């Protein structure tokens, strides 16, 4: 990577100082192995279904993974249970498994700096039913003694919400403060949320109402799913995608005639909201970050990071059009696929750019499955999958890393030298309470092993000398 120096009085990373960036990325793969294999549960979920949260955290100097096991002969939809793994010096071991509960979805993790690990679970109240009520809980584990019985923290909610096996839940932590926020969807109207403070009390609860789609032929709430949620000093930021039954009557009829299905879901609009203090202030009005409504495209949130100066960094992918509908509805539209980045400050988008772009009819790479990675000195990187044809005609399918520079530009892309690239992945994100790190830790399926969840640790650089 090219060496250079940037001097900044104040920058979008929120660091008011002179910052020196050198040719210091080593990208040394320190570990690459499999954690567990799984069987398709055929219930609409899977180990990566909680994509806005994470199933891997670091706490107490150890790394933990939450797994999803399909139970043979169990009745759908709740035919799975959670598992908990940790890695010793030379191997992964399963330290706990749910002895009685049955669930549909993976159970996301969070952590605190003092060595506590938290698991969000959503067991069904009726394992014999296809669907029905569920009882959310948070289990606390000790990072130093993970095989011991976990403690149930029994979240408190506003009223008695009707939770079900389709939770679409979000789990985030302020790792330094030891505080948690849990959000869980209720139908198509809102998410219930509850906040656990550093004293161990679920001290605030409320509802996050979805944005209102008054521009549709039939106005309706726009359910927001798969969000990236971050919390620091009780400020909570929420960034997700529309997930409603196709609202455009023309598109819906065309899709029904094409597929024979009576329904199809819309993932075309990205929304962001925040509160400066979830215990005292309501969430602000929704901001629409991106839309592919006109050409029936697709968008997907990837990650969110809160910079020290208060700037909010967003990462997402866009596909411009649904090519099946192009001839009838938008014949002149061109396809493009982009990996995008934006910065929000004081509720306004102040910067927007594409990190990777592939245009129809031209060679290029598609960037997807992207996550932020932050080092202890607050350098910001994006790790992503890149696939397609490079400008020189080379076929590419690999994991790459780029640095988001303080002047608003993107540094050169560098291949991560893994034996098998990840096709999708979680990270030990600070949004779940893991510490900022000089190493990236990934969990997900790799090329050639699609039904296996694998782990890799990649050293970016050595810590600066004291």
| pLDDT score recorded for residue 337 | 98
Strands (E), 307-436: 312-319, 336-345, 348-359, 364-374, 380-389, 395-404, 414-415, 426-427
The span from the CA of 309 to the CA of 294, in Å, is 36
In order of start, what are the domains of the chain with their CATH numbers?
24-459 (2.120.10)
Question: Strand 56-59 relative to strand 439-446: parallel, antiparallel, unpaired?
Answer: unpaired
The tens digit of pLDDT for each residue in 288-317 reads: 999 999 999 999 999 999 999 999 999 999
Sheet containing 298-306: give its strands across: 298-306, 312-319, 336-345, 348-359
Q: Residue 6 pLDDT > 70, yes or no? A: no
Indicate the pLDDT class of residue 18, thresholds 50, 70 and 90: very low
Indicate the pLDDT class of residue 466, thresholds 50, 70 and 90: low
The residue whose two tokens read 């990208």 is 27
CB 13 within 8 Å of CB 21 = no
Indicate the pLDDT class of residue 177, thresholds 50, 70 and 90: very high
| pLDDT score recorded for residue 465 | 73
Report which of 227, 152, 216 is spatially closest to residue 191, judged by C-alpha positions. Answer: 227
The tens digit of pLDDT for each residue in 397-427 reads: 999 999 999 999 999 999 999 999 999 999 9
CB 202 within 8 Å of CB 190 = no
Q: What percent of the chain has pLDDT over 70?
A: 95
11-15, 182-186, 356-360: least confident range = 11-15
The span from the CA of 62 to the CA of 215, in Å, is 49
Report which of 115, 118, 190, 104 is spatially closest to residue 152, judged by C-alpha positions. Answer: 118
Indicate the pLDDT class of residue 22, thresholds 50, 70 and 90: very low
| pLDDT score recorded for residue 197 | 98
Phi, psi dihedral angles at 258 (to 5 degrees): -75, -40
How many contiguous H segments (helices) and E segments (strands) does the chain have?
Answer: 2, 34
- Rounded to the nearest 5 percent, the helix, strand and coil shares of the chain are 5, 50, 45
Mean of the per-residue pLDDT values of the chain: 93
Q: Name the token pair of 425.
A: 């992945």
Q: Counting Cβ atoms within 10 Å, is residue 81 exposed (0-12), middle (13-18) or buried (19+)?
A: buried
Q: Residue 1 pLDDT > 60, yes or no? A: no
Q: Residue 13 pLDDT > 70, yes or no? A: no
Mean pLDDT to the nearest integer, 108-137 = 97
| pLDDT score recorded for residue 142 | 97
The span from the CA of 251 to the CA of 263, in Å, is 11
What three-state secondary structure class fits 264? coil
Q: Residue 171 pLDDT > 80, yes or no? A: yes
Indicate the pLDDT class of residue 23, thresholds 50, 70 and 90: low
Residues 6+ apart with CB under 8 A from 182: 120, 136, 138, 155, 169, 170, 171, 193, 194, 196
The span from the CA of 440 to the CA of 373, in Å, is 7
Higher-confidence residue of 235 and 15: namely 235
The span from the CA of 240 to the CA of 269, in Å, is 9
Residues 6+ apart with CB under 8 A from 110: 57, 117, 118, 120, 171, 172, 173, 180, 432, 433
Report the length, in residues, of the chain.
Answer: 466
Indicate the pLDDT class of residue 393, thresholds 50, 70 and 90: confident
Mean pLDDT to the nearest integer, 311-331 = 98
Indicate the pLDDT class of residue 17, thresholds 50, 70 and 90: very low
| pLDDT score recorded for residue 390 | 85
| pLDDT score recorded for residue 21 | 41
DSSP classification of residue 324: H
């Amino acid at each position: 990577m090219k060496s250079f120096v940037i001097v900044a009085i104040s920058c979008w990373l929120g660091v008011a100082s002179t910052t020196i960036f050198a040719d210091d990325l080593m990208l040394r793969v320190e570990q690459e192995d499999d954690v567990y294999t799984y069987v398709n549960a055929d219930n609409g979920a899977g180990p990566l279904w909680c994509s806005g949260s994470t199933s891997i955290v670091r706490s107490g100097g150890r790394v933990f993974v939450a797994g999803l096991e399909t139970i043979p002969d169990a009745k759908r939809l709740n035919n799975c249970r959670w598992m908990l793994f940790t890695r010793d010096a030379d191997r992964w071991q399963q330290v706990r498994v749910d002895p009685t509960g049955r669930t549909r979805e993976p159970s996301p993790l969070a952590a605190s700096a003092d060595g506590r690990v938290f698991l969000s679970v959503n067991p069904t109240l009726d394992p014999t039913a296809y669907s029905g009520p569920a009882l959310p809980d948070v289990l606390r584990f000790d990072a130093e003694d993970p095989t011991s019985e976990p403690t149930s923290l029994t979240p408190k909610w506003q009223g008695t919400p009707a939770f079900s096996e389709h939770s679409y839940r979000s789990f985030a932590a302020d790792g330094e403060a030891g505080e948690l926020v849990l959000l869980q969807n209720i139908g198509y109207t809102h998410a219930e949320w509850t906040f656990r403070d550093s004293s161990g009390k679920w001290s605030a609860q409320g509802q996050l109402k979805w944005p209102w789609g008054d521009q549709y032929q039939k106005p309706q709430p726009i359910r927001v799913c798969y969000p990236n949620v971050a919390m620091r000093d009780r400020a909570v930021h929420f960034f997700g995608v529309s997930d409603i039954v196709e609202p455009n009557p023309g598109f819906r009829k065309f899709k029904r005639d094409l597929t024979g299905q009576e329904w199809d879901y819309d993932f075309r609009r990205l929304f962001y909201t925040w509160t400066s203090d979830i215990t005292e202030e309501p969430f602000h009005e929704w901001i629409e970050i991106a839309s592919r409504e006109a050409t029936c495209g697709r968008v997907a949130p990837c990650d969110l990071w809160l910079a020290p100066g208060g700037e909010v960094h967003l990462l997402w992918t866009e596909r411009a059009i649904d090519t099946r509908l192009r001839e009838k509805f938008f014949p002149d539209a061109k396809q493009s696929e982009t990996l995008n980045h934006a910065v929000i400050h004081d509720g306004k988008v102040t910067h927007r750019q594409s990190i990777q772009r592939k245009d129809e009819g031209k060679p290029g790479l598609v960037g997807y499955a992207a996550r932020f990675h932050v080092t202890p000195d607050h350098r910001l990187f994006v790790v992503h999958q890149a696939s397609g044809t490079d400008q020189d005609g080379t076929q590419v399918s690999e994991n790459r890393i780029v640095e988001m520079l303080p002047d608003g530009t993107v540094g050169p892309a560098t291949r991560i030298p893994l034996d098998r690239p990840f096709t999708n992945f979680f990270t030990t994100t600070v949004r779940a309470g893991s510490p900022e790190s000089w190493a990236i830790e990934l969990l997900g399926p790799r090329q050639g092993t699609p039904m296996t969840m694998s782990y890799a640790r990649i050293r970016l650089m050595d810590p600066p000398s004291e």
